[in-house]
Amino acid sequence: MKTKNAVSALAALAQEARLEIFRLLVRKGAQGMAAGELSNHFLMPPATMSFHLKELSNAELIVARRESRSIIYSANYEQMQELLGFLMENCCADNGGKC
């Protein structure tokens, strides 16, 4: 993962509404949730939800699939793991590995 990807993923999560959306999708696992369901769940207008889902999608933290008229979003665990790894990369390397 490159710094710019990490910044984009962190920025996507650094917003209360989006962080809660992402955490709900993390709970839901592979089944995911439709945009409209999320919009109802968080009592948020569809346009606002759509904006947030796009931010998370652009950062590749969630993925979308169409199912009939609905668009289902689910968490992308691989991207999340990469982000966590990036943040702790070379931890204490310049201090003999002592943290």
Partner DNA sequence: GTGATAATTCGATATTATTGGAAATATGAA
Partner DNA sequence: TTCATATTTCCAATAATATCGAATTATCAC
List interacting residues with its own copies (CB under 8 A).
3-4, 6-7, 10-11, 13-16, 19-20, 22-23, 26-31, 77, 80, 84, 87-99
Region from 23-31, 42-50, 76-84, 87-95 binding DNA, contact rule CB under 7 A:
42-50
Q: Which of residues 62-81 bind DNA (CB under 7 A)?
A: 64, 66, 68-72
Spatial separation of the C-alpha atoms in residues 51 and 68, rounded to whole Å: 21
Size of the site for DNA (CB under 7 A): 29
Question: Shortest distance, CB of residue 94 to DNA, whole angstroms?
Answer: 18
**C-alpha distances out from residue 25 to 22, 31, 59, 75, 96, Å:** 5, 9, 15, 5, 39
Contacts of 97 (CB under 8 A, 6+ apart): none
